[in-house]
Amino acid sequence: MKQYVVDAFTDHLFSGNQAAVCVMNDWPDNALMQNIAAENNFSETAFAVKEGTSYHLRWFTPGGEIDFCGHATLGTSFVILNYQEKFSSSVTFTSQVGDLTVKRNGDVYEMDFPAYNLKKIPVTAEMTEALGVRPLEAYIDRDLLLVLPDAESVRKLNPDLHRLNHLEGLLTAVTAPSDSSEYDCVSRVFAPKLNIPEDPVTGSTHCMITPYWCSRFGRKELTCFQASKRTGILYTGIRGDRVKIAGRAVLFSEEILMVP
C-alpha cells in the first residue's frame, strides 16, 4: 500500500498539520486502517477509494475513526490532484458529512464544507479550571468553541488535558481576535479524547470559528492563524450554510507500507 505524508495549511515543510494519505483500489478492513493510523501517530490518516467519478473518503485518528477532518481532506486533495489525476482541477469526496468538493487554484486548494451550528452555552467553572483562564463565551456543536479575551491568552494557553476530557465536545477550540494585521483571528485546538494533545491546524473546527468571527466582524472572508507550535494559515469564508476553507500543502514523503 502506498502512503503519502503531506503538510497541510502551509507552503513549507515541517509546519502546518501532517496528514498521512492512502489512495487505494479497495477497502482494507477497519482494524488495519486503525492500526496504520495508530502507527503513524499523526492527528489524522486519510483513506480514499475511487467510486465512480468521486472518491469515498474516511479519516482515522490514533484513537479511532472520526466523521470529518479538514486538513486531511486538503492533504488527500493534494495527493489526488498532483499524483492520481494530474489534469483535473477539482475532486469530490463522499463522506459521513455529505459530498465535499475541493477545487485547485494554482497552489491553493479551496474546500467546500458544511458550516457548524453555533449553540451558545454558559461558561462554567469547569471550563475555567481546564484552561486556566475564564472564557468570555462558549459555543457547542460537534466541538466546543471557547472565546478568550485576547490573542496572547490563546498563544500562552497551557490547558489541563485531563480536565478538557470532561468538557462537552469532541475537540476543544480556543479563539480570539488577532493582534497582527496579517490575520483576523487566532486559534488553537486540543483533542485529548482522540489521543491528540494539540492538533496543529484544524480545518474542521474552522467550520465553527469562521461563522463566529464573520458574524462578529460583519465579514464574509477571513484569514485565520492557528497558533500551535507548527502554525498554519487558513483562508476561510461563509457561504450561507457552507464554509469555504482554503490553504496550501506540500509533500513530505512517499512510501510503501509493508502491511498484509
Q: How many residues does the chain have?
A: 260
Whether the CB-CB separation of 32 and 60 falls below 8 Å is answered with: no
How many whole angstroms separate alpha carbon 21 and alpha carbon 9? 15
Whether the CB-CB separation of 10 and 33 falls below 8 Å is answered with: no
Q: Is residue 44 annotated as part of the catalytic site, yes or no?
A: yes
| Nearest Cα to Cα of residue 9 among 254, 250, 205 | 250
Q: Which of 44, 198, 221, 254 is catalytic?
A: 44
Taking the alpha carbons at both ends of the chain, their separation in whole angstroms is 9
CA 167-70-63 angle, to 5 degrees, is: 50
What cell numbers appear for 24 in the block?
487505494
Catalytic residue ranges: 44
